[in-house]
Each structure stands twice: as C-alpha cells, then as structure tokens.
Chain A
Amino acid sequence: MSSNTPSSSAGGVGSADSSAPRRNSKRPKYSKFTQQELPACKPILTPRWVISAFILVSIVFIPIGVVSLFASQDVVEIIDRYETECVPQDFRNNKVSFIQSDANKTCTRRLTVTKRMKQPIYVYYQLDNFYQNHRRYVKSRSDSQLKDNSSWNDVSSCKPEDDSNGQPIVPCGLIAWSLFNDTYNFSLNNQQLAVNKTEISWKSDRDSKFGNDVFPRNFQNGTLIGGKSLDPTVPLSEQEDLIVWMRTAALPTFRKLYGKIERDLQPNEVIHVTLENNYNTYSFNGKKKLVLSTTSWLGGKNDFLGIAYLTVGGLCFFLALSFTVVYLVKPRRLGDPSYLSWNRNPGGQ
C-alpha cells in the first residue's frame, strides 16, 4: 500500500531545486523510545532457572490437586438412570410409540443412600445427547417478550414456534416449547420428602430477564405438543422450571436443577421416587438420569480438576528431576558457539 509513489519530480519538468532545506531541522529529540533503547529483558533459560521453575510449579500444583480431589471425594452423589427401566417390558422395542401414547407413564424407583448426605441435597435431572446448543434451537426465543408484557406479540425470532391458531405464543420459541416435563415425587419411609422448588434459578434471571407481569398465553396450544404446559395464572418470573430450562446448556450432556431436599439423609435409608416419565428422549436415543447430590466448598462432584492438577504437578516434578540428573551428569557450557549449525561442519554451510 505504501509504495514509494514516484514524486513526479523523479524526472518531470519542474523537478529541479525545491528540495534542499526541508529536513535540516528535523533533528529528533533524544528519547529512549526513539533510539530503541528502552529497557528490555529476555530471560535466558539456564538449567537452574528451568529446574527451579518446574519445581515451583509442582510444589504449587500437587497440593492443590490433592485438596480438590479430597473435596470432590466428600461429595455424595446418587445417580439413577431410568429412561429404559421406566418403559414397560412390552414397549422396550418401540419406546417412541410408548412415550407418544396416552398410557400410564408412572414409574417407581428405589434409591439407597450410601453415605450420609448433609442438607441441602440438590435434585437434578440429567439429559444426554440433547443439543440445547443447536443454532436453530438456541436462537428460537424472544427475550423482549419474556421480559415485558407490552411486547407480547414480538415473536419474529421464535420461528417455527411463534404462533398457533394465528395468535402469538407466550413464551414463544422452541426452547420454551420443549420444556422438560418429567416430575419426581420422593418419599422416605412412606413419608413424603419435601422438595423445595423455589430459588432454583438465577436471581438475575428472575429479576430482570423474566417479567412478573408476563403470563403464559396460548402456550402448548398447537397441534404438536412439545413438553410441559405452564400455569397461565403464574407469571413467568415465578415459573422457575422454565427459567432453568431457558438457560440453555452449552454441551449435549447437561444437568438442570429440579429442586432441593432440605434435610439430611442417613446411610442405608431408601428413598422411593415416583416419577412421571413424560419427556421424549427416545427418538434421539437420549438418556435420562435423576441425580441427588450434596455439594462441597468446591461445588459438585468433579474429580477432573484434582486429577488435572496432580498430573501437571507430577509431570513438572518428573521433568525437574530428569533435568537435574542431566545437568549433574552431563553439564554443558551456556552459549557455546561450537554447537551452532555453521560451526558444526566448517565450510559446509
């Protein structure tokens, strides 16, 4: 771009003598920047530096790894995969037709508590192979409609689930339409185990993304029914299952919070779960799991973090060790020019 454009004086008439004194006064002022003398440092990777850096990393990482592994071990998790078990034996070959039929979908599961679980115990449902991040899916919502009653008919971005029977749907879009609709009822020793379903969504979502004056309207009224229906008398800001669902997951395997059990569970207690197996994951071979989990200071059960820290720390320790051995057994002078390529075989270039 910045080619030297030929000043036409390169040969043109009128070139002669208009040039001389123009740059005499351009003597620059001295500054370290203009002279490219700003302080700079480029660490030389001497063996000592490298070894100590590795040792430092391993000293820091290994304890962190151990601690997070322990924290993860403390978390008690009960996982129950039920999507196959809850289909009656006759329908096992054709689960899709079962789920789409009007048959009774109630199903009972027994969960045995292995270790003591301290409250609060979180209840999740986990879906597998469910692409909430699909472009078509994730775009199909109307944030303005969810927030504000006045823009209830703003459904342009909700295709193909924008209206039914000529009326706009509130809440519109594929996400809301496909709301998860399995339900769980827990009982312990024939006693109902209360599940707290409030404050399971983000506070900011309740306060500012879902309006308290927006009521479901014309929802699940079409020919195709996706998932759960909503109570048209409850404002969206209180429909916490919807709010949780509408915060779409980034990966095809995800857990969403269903509720909280606010009491401790003792080992060997048996929980009976009565669930309504309504949601269709069968057409795409998705799994459904019910998860009960406690938390630690580090969150849920996650061994990966601890293992990763331990691996990196261990690797660094190993490297530091082997470098030390090499350094002690076969030391080499730093900056020895005889190793340069042109000094190795003289004349060869």
Chain B
Amino acid sequence: MKRYVYINDNESSHKLYCDNRISNRKYTVLNFLPKNLWEQFGRFMNQYFLLIACLQLWSLITPVNPASTWGPLIFIFAVSASKEAWDDYNRYFSDKKANEKLVWVVRQGIRKHIQAQDIHVGNIVWLRENDEVPCDLVLIGTSDPQGLCYVETSALDGETDLKTRVIPATCMGIDFELLHKIKGVIECPNPDKDIRRFDANLRLFPPFIDNDVCPLTIKNTILQSCYLRNTEWACGVAVYTGNETKLGMSRGIPEPKLTAMDAMIDKLTGAIFVFQIVVVMVLGIAGNVWKDTEARKQWYVLYPLEGPWYELLVIPLRFELLCSIMIPISIKVSLDLVKSLYAKFIDWDSEMIDYETGIPSHATNTAISEDLGQVEYIMTDKTGTLTENRMIFRRCCISGVFYGNESGDALKDTKLLNAVAVSSPDVVQFVTVMAICNTVIPIKSKTGAILYKAQSQDEDALVNAAAQLHMVYANKNANILEIRFNGSVIKYELLEILEFTSDRKRMSVVVKDCQNGKFVLLSKGADEAILPYAYDGQQTRTFIEAVEQYAQLGLRTLCLAWRELKEDEYQEWSLMFKEASSTLVDREWRIAEVCQRLERDFEVLGVTAIEDRLQDGVPETIETLRKAGINFWMLTGDKQNTAIQIALSCNFISPEPKGQLLLIDGKTEDEVCRSLERVLLTMRITSSEPKDVAFVVDGWALEIALKHYRKVFTELAILSRTAICCRVTPSQKAQLVELLKSCDYRTLAIGDGGNDVRMIQQADIGVGISGREGLQAARAADYSIGKFRFLKRLILVHGRYSYNRTAFLSQYSFYKSLVICFIQILSFWN
C-alpha cells in the first residue's frame, strides 16, 4: 500500500487524502445525546438502574413512587453528560486553535498565509524559526547552504536536544525562487505511527535534474508538533496531514484509569446482583406458593380465581423492585463527590506548596485519590525528579592544583581566575577542552546572549563554566568552532567527533587549530577511561586522589585530557575511522577499536567536579516510603555510573556490605540471558537475608530481556525491591510500568520531563513534577507536585486518608442499602 504525493499539484490529491484538520473530538452537536447515552448505558450499573426505573412505571407491581428512581437516575446522567460535554468542548476549542493557526503555504506558485486546516497533501509549507510544524513534511529546502535544519522533537519523543534534519540530495542547491514551482512525486507508505521510520522515494519532474529516484529516510522529514529551531527558514512538502500524521496516528486517548477500589466495587455489585436474583427467586416462588395455598383462604382479599397470564411474574417482580435498592444508586454520586473533595484537599494543602516557585500541588485526575494509598511500586525518573537538574561546575584539579576546595566553588576561586587571567598554559588547555570537547550547539538569542543547547547537562555545565572563565564558545558554523578568549577569537575546525558510548565511557573530538594548523585530540571521560591511557611517565596519582575526593563528596567527576596529533597520523587514522563508520557488521565495536588507537598517550590535564544537587528531603522521603513497604525503581536515561551514584546518595540502595548491586548487561541475547539467570539466582539466595539487593540494567539489555526473557525478567522484578534502569527510552519506561502492572501491582510513576509522559500515562497513578524541563509531564499527570519530597505527604497522608474514607463510605453505602432492603423485605413478608 503506497501513497503517491504529487508536489504542488493542487487538484489530484484533494479528494484522495484528508485535509489538515485535526480533530480530537468525541462528539458532534448532533450525535452527542445518542452517543453519550449509548456510552453511559454501556455500563452495567446504569443498565440495571434503567431496567429498575422502567419496571417502576408499571403501577401494578411498583411499591414506591417511580420518581424515587427516575430522579436520581436523570440527575446522574445529566451530571456525567455535562461533564463529557464540557471536556469535549475544551477539546474542540483547542483543536480549533490549532486548526486556525496561520501558516505559509504555496498556492498557484505564490506563497500565501492560510489556515493550517487547509493544508493538503502535496502542498509546500514554509516555516520560519521557532514555528511549530503543522503536519508531516518532507524537507526540500532550508536556509542553510548545506541543507541542514534543526528541530526540537520533545513533543514527539520527549528528547530535549536538537536534532538535525537534512534535505534530500536531489533538492540540494535548488534556488529559493524555484522552490515555489517545484514539481515531483513522493512515493511513501500509508500513514503509520512509527516515528523512527519513513521509507519513501522522491522523484522531481523536469526542468529539475531528473536523476531517477532519491531515497528518503526519517532524516529528511520534519514531523507534526516539532519546532523548527536555529534555522532561519525551511520548507517541505506535506505528506501526511490531519489525523493521519505520525503523531495523529500514535495519539490514543489514554484509557480512563480505574482504581482498585472501583474494581472491587464493581465486583461487589456483581455479587450483590447475583444474591439479589437468588433472593428474588426464592421469595418470589415462596410468595406464589403462599398465594396459591394460603392467600386463597383469606376471603377478605378476594383473589380472583383466574389471573392474567403474567400473574406468576407479579410477585417476583415486586420483590425485584423491593430489592433494587440493595445496589445503592447513590454510591457513584457520593463517591464522585467525596473524591473531588479529596482532590481539593490536595490542591489546598499548604504543606505541599513549593514556596520557591509558588506552585501548589494539583490533582488533575480527581477519580483516583484512594489508589495513592495502595501504591506498591514507585517508578521514578532521576534527573529533575530526585535531583534539581541543575548541574553546577564546583571544583577542579588542574595539573595537581586543586581549585575550589576552600570556597566550594572553583569559579570564585581567585587562584583559578588569576591563572586564567595570566593565560597559564595548563589552565588554558584545560578550559579549552571544557569549552569545545562536546556536542553542544550555541544559539544566539535576540539579546545577544548565548544559549547552549546541550544533550547532556554535564556538557552544559562545563561550557557555561568555561564561559565564565572567559573562554566563551561563541559560535558553531558548520565545522568551524569560534571561541572567544580574553578578547581574542580563536577558531577551530572540528574534524571528528568520537561519540560517547557507555562502553568507552569517554568522548573525544579531533580539531584543527586554525591559527597554527595543529591537530589536537581533546577527550573527556570517566577516570577509569582516561587515566590508564596517560602517556608513560605522567604522574596520575594526584588525579586519582582528586577523583576519589570528589566522588566522596557526591560530585560527578570527569577527567579531561588532550594530545597533539601529527597530521599524517590523523589522516591515516581518519581513513580507518571512515571505513569503520561505514561497516555494516559490528560497527560499534569496530569504531570503538579504531577510537582506541587514537585515544592513547593522553596528557591528562585535570579533573572536573560537577554537582547535581539532590532536591531537599529526597533521601528522607525515599527512606520513609520504603519503610512503608513501597518499592522503588529508578528509570533514567542517564548513564549507569551517575545513576548508581545518585541512587547511593539518596538512600535508594545501601552501600556494601549491607547492600548488593547486581548487574545485568550484555550485548547479545546469550550474554543477557546468562547474566539474567545469574542475577536471579543470587536474588533467590539472598531473598531470605535482610540485605538490600538491587539490580541494575541498561536500556540495551532491557530491550533484549523484555523481548526474549520476559518471564525471567518478570520474576526478577517481583523478587527485587529496588532496581535501577539506566539508558532507557521513554517507551521502555512505559513498558516497565506495564510489566509491573501486569503482575497486579499498583504502580506510581513520577517524572518531570517530556520523556516521562508515556510512563506517567501508563502507570496507575502518574505524578508530574512541575520542574525545569517544562510542564509537559505535569500536564499529562494525574497529580502534579512542586518537589519530590511532597510525594511523602501525597501518599502517606492524602493517599491514606482517601483510601480509608472511600473504603468507609462504600462499605457503609452497601451496608445501609442492604439493611433498608431487608427491612422492606421483612415487612412485605408480613
């Protein structure tokens, strides 16, 4: 199944594909009433009450006034319906806003401002910097001469770093004006929801150079709801529109969450219904027998000798009506009412207000408060949830000299500032590595200040610290890096990036100093990945000491190193690197091997120490909640070492010998399987000992484990009270939640970033922290709080209260109606 998109051909595709109107609405004005009623009557309780209400209209059998059932029934229906209507109206409203947004689209060769909903497949859409992408586009032109553009995809996959997108090769170098008139055909698959795949072909029609078909990948697309950043303009052909975009296809309305209590009430209702039927049958039959034997003798009742055909039914149906209040119609309304009060109590709680930002806690979902008191597993994000997500460069050790040890802040250490001022070579080298050994993209804002877009917060901290030490990473123009140092501009040509992998635990860049043409390798990485590769004769003892000292303070350490390369050495290596990069089998391993050849004989420059402060009260909160029997899992996209370090410092796991960390790793199925079984074995042995055993798994191993060894992994998950999962993707987080849910555990997911949204929606209870990574998580969550430590109060106070109250209320409701019902039956019997 393919779709053919004819670029700029206004006629052919109009009828074939839908326009770009987005609709999240459930109802229209016309179908609201029937559809809503139909939905409400889908529920067993409502069907039951309707049946009872209808029976009551038959005056022969009704013992009470029909209004006593019709009134509440209509009231309940009206409340539910108006709530639905209000929600749907809000959806309609936000859709309308998105649909009526103005965008630039080419019509008849001229750019026009039209509403987003009028975009059709095949239209060329123009975007400017910071515009939101209105539909799925195939790029055909950007302001960048090399055809690059940057997009932010956080709404799509939760990753906050900028991604590069490139125009297809055929479109390279097409003139700005010609882009309006471009014609061609894109052959692409039917809409699907895979945001990582787009296998399509593009063929341009003459007069453009017709070099057959050009393959397109996801790299050539910009998808709906991304933002164009750092690029002056870009234009693309709409291929999927409206609800058929990748985002639209993957957008499911998350299922309404049901609490354990609701499920219990449903079960109880069923049981009572069965009981009621039994009572009705027994009493009905008894009543009929009595009537036929005894009541005929009671002459004053004057029973007719022959009754109508339904006579046998009358007494059972009367009993049914009498018993109908066994299932309390009021329970739903009263539960909803008190639940919204619980939610209000959470909103009102003055002990859960974040006084720094003035953000109170908020319960978005009012229906599930009592589940807070039933939580068994808490899945927590790390960065921004446990920590403040504010990496700060605190200390450093440059060629044996410690800076920042007295004041606790190296940037205020006059010794260091002086050293920078006099351009002490060691220090300058060190700061240069801080500034450019990274994948940071500097962005000039309108005020002239430079903002850094970094994939990792560490790099961000380092670059910012370097900037404060007057080594400002000012601009990145293709491969030319511009550094301003003490007033002068230094340019470097970026030649290679040896990317970070968790195996190598370091990353390096090869740059060419544009001033003197020297080739330099700059590296930074974990101590065990840098220090052993120092050149012979360098004393690394002070660095080891520094690392130990910093680690004890809970700081994240990185070692910085550098090496000058000879030109031919680089050229030779560069060929090998290119070859390795293009191999198809074992590419990662080959690259690592090639990198290893270059990353040796380092001149170690120093050690940096970065602080990621834990939020206030995190260790205490975790300890209290663990004492309450709640198990914690940490799911983080971060590196293993950092994760473990943070876990240790916030009471997540205990240090040896009290605690034990078990690693699950491996690259292949066999390795993972073996390591899983080993861990499981240890787990089983130690489960009887009072020992804190936790397992650590990384994303790759997790992927394999979830795919092939789900059963074993599930068993492991049940056995272990603590787990750390690092380098996991948003969807893996959701999968883990799903896994625990499938074992019938009540899960709570807490997170702060866009990458936690799926886990939050998946979990029984989602808690969002309105933090620095924006409000996305908080908006998707059932509860939003300002700080992690409020979780304690949320669960132990509000959860407990809500659970107890709901339990009391529902039990009392059933008790009350059963009592009333039996009184009625007894009196009827007499």
Name A's B-contacting residues (CB within 8 A): 1-16, 19-20, 23-24, 26-28, 30, 34-36, 130-131, 133-137, 160-161, 174, 177-178, 224, 226, 250-252, 280, 283-285
Task: Evaluate whether A35 and B301 lie within 8 angstroms (CB atoms) in the complex, with A7-B94, A11-B247, A12-B225 already known.
Answer: no
Q: Is the CB of A280 within 8 A of B299?
A: yes
Task: Evaluate whether A12 and B22 lie within 8 angstroms (CB atoms) in the complex, with A1-B83, A24-B358, A250-B830 already known.
Answer: yes
Instruction: Decide if B364 is an interface residue (CB 8 Å cutoff).
Output: yes
The 5 closest A-B pairs by CB, nearest first: A3-B256, A14-B98, A178-B300, A34-B348, A4-B365
What total of A-B pairs shows CB separation below 8 Å? 153
Q: Is the CB of A13 within 8 A of B362?
A: no
Identify 17 residue pairs between A and B in the complex whose beta-carbon atoms are under 8 Å apart, listed by A's number. Answer: A2-B365, A3-B365, A5-B91, A11-B250, A23-B359, A23-B362, A26-B347, A27-B358, A34-B345, A34-B350, A130-B300, A137-B301, A160-B304, A178-B300, A251-B830, A283-B299, A284-B297
Instruction: Decide if B224 is an interface residue (CB 8 Å cutoff).
Output: yes
Q: Which residues of B contact A27 (CB under 8 A)?
A: 353, 358, 360
Q: How far is the CA of A170 from the CA of B101 in the complex (A)?
A: 80
Q: Which residues of A contact B255 (CB under 8 A)?
A: 3
Q: How far is the CA of A161 from the CA of B303 in the complex (A)?
A: 11
Q: Is the CB of B775 within 8 A of A134?
A: no
Instruction: Decide if B257 is an interface residue (CB 8 Å cutoff).
Output: yes
Task: Evaluate whether A6 and B300 lie within 8 angstroms (CB atoms) in the complex, with A12-B98, A26-B360 already known.
Answer: no
Q: Which residues of B contact A34 (CB under 8 A)?
A: 344-345, 348-350
Query: Which listed residue (B134, B332, B775) contacts A13, Cβ 8 A?
Result: B134
Task: Evaluate whether A2 and B362 lie within 8 angstroms (CB atoms) in the complex, with A13-B225, A15-B225 already known.
Answer: no
Query: Which listed residue (A16, A26, A137) contacts B300, Cβ 8 A?
Result: A137
Q: Is the CB of B101 within 8 A of A7?
A: no
Q: How far is the CA of A135 from the CA of B60 in the complex (A)?
A: 11
Query: Which listed residue (A15, A19, A134) contacts B298, Cβ 8 A?
Result: A134
Q: Is the CB of A12 within 8 A of B775?
A: no
Q: Which residues of A contact B90 (CB under 8 A)?
A: 7
Q: Is the CB of A10 within 8 A of B251?
A: yes
Q: Is the CB of B775 within 8 A of A19?
A: yes
Q: How far is the CA of A4 from the CA of B767 in the complex (A)?
A: 13
Q: How far is the CA of A19 from the CA of B347 in the complex (A)?
A: 17
User: Distance (Å) between the CB of B765 and the closest chain A CB?
Assistant: 11
Q: How far is the CA of A235 from the CA of B693 in the complex (A)?
A: 94
Q: How far is the CA of A250 from the CA of B227 in the complex (A)?
A: 79
Q: Is the CB of B350 within 8 A of A30?
A: yes
Q: Is the CB of A252 within 8 A of B775?
A: no
Q: How far is the CA of A160 from the CA of B24 in the complex (A)?
A: 61
Q: Is the CB of A283 within 8 A of B297?
A: yes
Q: Which residues of B contact A23 (CB under 8 A)?
A: 359-360, 362
Query: Which listed residue (A1, A133, A178) contacts B367, Cβ 8 A?
Result: A1
Query: Which listed residue (B94, B116, B340, B347) contacts A9, Cβ 8 A?
Result: B94
Task: Evaluate whether A8 and B830 lie within 8 angstroms (CB atoms) in the complex, with A16-B132, A28-B360 already known.
Answer: no
Q: Which residues of A contact B299 (CB under 8 A)?
A: 178, 226, 280, 283-284
Instruction: Decide if B339 is an interface residue (CB 8 Å cutoff).
Output: yes
Q: Is the CB of B345 within 8 A of A36?
A: yes
Additional A-B contacts beyond A34-B349, A280-B299 (13; CB < 8 A): A2-B339, A4-B364, A5-B91, A7-B94, A10-B254, A10-B761, A11-B251, A12-B95, A13-B225, A28-B347, A130-B298, A224-B302, A284-B294
Q: Which residues of A contact B80 (CB under 8 A)?
A: 1
Q: Which residues of A contact B22 (CB under 8 A)?
A: 8, 12-13
Instruction: Decide if B801 is an interface residue (CB 8 Å cutoff).
Output: yes
User: Distance (Å) between the CB of A76 and the closest chain B CB?
Assistant: 30
Q: Which residues of B contact A161 (CB under 8 A)?
A: 302
Q: How far is the CA of A5 from the CA of B254 in the complex (A)?
A: 8
Q: Which residues of B contact A135 (CB under 8 A)?
A: 63, 828
Query: Which listed residue (A4, A16, A131, A285) contacts B257, Cβ 8 A?
Result: A4
Q: Which residues of B contact A174 (CB under 8 A)?
A: 300-302
Chain B residues numbered 216-263 whose CB sits less than 8 Å from any CB in chain A:
224-225, 227, 247, 250-251, 253-257
We find that the number of chain B residues with CB closer than 8 angstroms to chain A is: 69
Q: Is the CB of A28 within 8 A of B295?
A: no
Q: Is the CB of B779 within 8 A of A2?
A: no
Q: Which residues of A contact B63 (CB under 8 A)?
A: 135
User: Distance (Å) between the CB of A221 and the closest chain B CB?
Assistant: 16
Q: Is the CB of A13 within 8 A of B116?
A: yes
Q: How far is the CA of A174 from the CA of B294 in the complex (A)?
A: 18
Instruction: Decide if B266 is an interface residue (CB 8 Å cutoff).
Output: no
Chain B residues numbered 297-343 whose CB sits less than 8 Å from any CB in chain A:
297-304, 332, 336, 339-340
> Please, which residue of chain A has its CB at the minimum distance from the CB of B351?
A35
User: Distance (Å) between the CB of B795 and the closest chain A CB?
Assistant: 15
Instruction: Decide if B372 is an interface residue (CB 8 Å cutoff).
Output: no
Chain B residues numbered 245-289 whose CB sits less than 8 Å from any CB in chain A:
247, 250-251, 253-257
Instruction: Decide if B97 is an interface residue (CB 8 Å cutoff).
Output: yes
Task: Evaluate whether A6 and B295 lie within 8 angstroms (CB atoms) in the complex, with A13-B224, A137-B300 already known.
Answer: no
Q: How far is the CA of A27 from the CA of B801 in the complex (A)?
A: 22
User: Distance (Å) between the CB of A109 and the closest chain B CB?
Assistant: 25
Instruction: Decide if B155 is an interface residue (CB 8 Å cutoff).
Output: yes
Q: Which residues of B contact A35 (CB under 8 A)?
A: 348-351
User: Distance (Å) between the CB of B156 and the closest chain A CB?
Assistant: 8
Q: Is the CB of B97 within 8 A of A14?
A: yes
Query: Which listed residue (B225, B779, B830) contacts A7, Cβ 8 A?
Result: B779
Q: Is the CB of B301 within 8 A of A134?
A: yes
Q: How far is the CA of A224 from the CA of B303 in the complex (A)?
A: 13
Instruction: Decide if B780 is an interface residue (CB 8 Å cutoff).
Output: yes
Instruction: Decide if B371 is an interface residue (CB 8 Å cutoff).
Output: no
Instruction: Decide if B426 is an interface residue (CB 8 Å cutoff).
Output: no
Query: Which listed residue (B94, B101, B362) contacts A8, Cβ 8 A?
Result: B94
Q: How far is the CA of A52 from the CA of B112 in the complex (A)?
A: 90
Query: Which listed residue (B101, B295, B332, B353) contacts A14, Cβ 8 A?
Result: B101
Q: Mark B59-92, 1 if CB is under 8 A from A, else 0.
A: 0000100000000000000011001000100110
Q: Which residues of B contact A2 (CB under 8 A)?
A: 83, 336, 339-340, 365-367
Q: Is the CB of A3 within 8 A of B95?
A: no
Q: Which residues of B contact A130 (CB under 8 A)?
A: 298, 300
Q: Which residues of A contact B780 (CB under 8 A)?
A: 6, 10
Q: Which residues of A contact B603 (CB under 8 A)?
A: none
> Please, which residue of chain A has its CB at the minimum distance from the CB of B757?
A10
Q: Is the CB of B367 within 8 A of A3?
A: yes
User: Distance (Å) between the CB of B752 and the closest chain A CB?
Assistant: 15
User: Distance (Å) between the CB of B117 and the closest chain A CB?
Assistant: 10
Instruction: Decide if B370 is an interface residue (CB 8 Å cutoff).
Output: no
Q: Is the CB of A6 within 8 A of B297?
A: no
Q: How far is the CA of A20 from the CA of B770 in the complex (A)?
A: 10
Q: Is the CB of A15 within 8 A of B155?
A: yes
Instruction: Decide if B782 is an interface residue (CB 8 Å cutoff).
Output: yes
Q: How far is the CA of A174 from the CA of B303 in the complex (A)?
A: 11
Q: Is the CB of A284 within 8 A of B298?
A: yes
Q: Which residues of A contact B359 (CB under 8 A)?
A: 23-24
User: Distance (Å) between the CB of B314 and the closest chain A CB?
Assistant: 10
Q: How far is the CA of A20 from the CA of B779 in the complex (A)?
A: 10
Task: Evaluate whether A4 and B350 lie within 8 angstroms (CB atoms) in the complex, with A19-B775, A160-B302 already known.
Answer: no
Q: How far is the CA of A35 from the CA of B339 in the complex (A)?
A: 16
Q: How far is the CA of A15 from the CA of B101 in the complex (A)?
A: 12
Q: Is the CB of A134 within 8 A of B779?
A: no
User: Distance (Å) between the CB of A101 and the closest chain B CB?
Assistant: 16
Q: Which residues of A contact B300 (CB under 8 A)?
A: 130, 137, 174, 177-178, 226
Q: How far is the CA of A12 from the CA of B25 in the complex (A)?
A: 12
> Please, which residue of chain B has its CB at the minimum distance from the CB of A26?
B360
Q: How far is the CA of A12 from the CA of B96 in the complex (A)?
A: 11
Q: Mark B441-472, 1 if CB is under 8 A from A, else 0.
A: 00000000000000000000000000000000
Q: Is the CB of B94 within 8 A of A3?
A: no
Query: Which listed residue (A1, A7, A36) contacts B91, Cβ 8 A?
Result: A7
Task: Evaluate whether A1 and B332 lie within 8 angstroms (CB atoms) in the complex, with A12-B95, A14-B132, A161-B302 already known.
Answer: yes
> Please, which residue of chain A has its CB at the minimum distance from the CB of B92?
A8
Q: Is the CB of A8 within 8 A of B95?
A: yes
Q: How far is the CA of A224 from the CA of B299 in the complex (A)?
A: 10
> Please, which residue of chain B has its CB at the minimum distance from the CB of A36?
B345
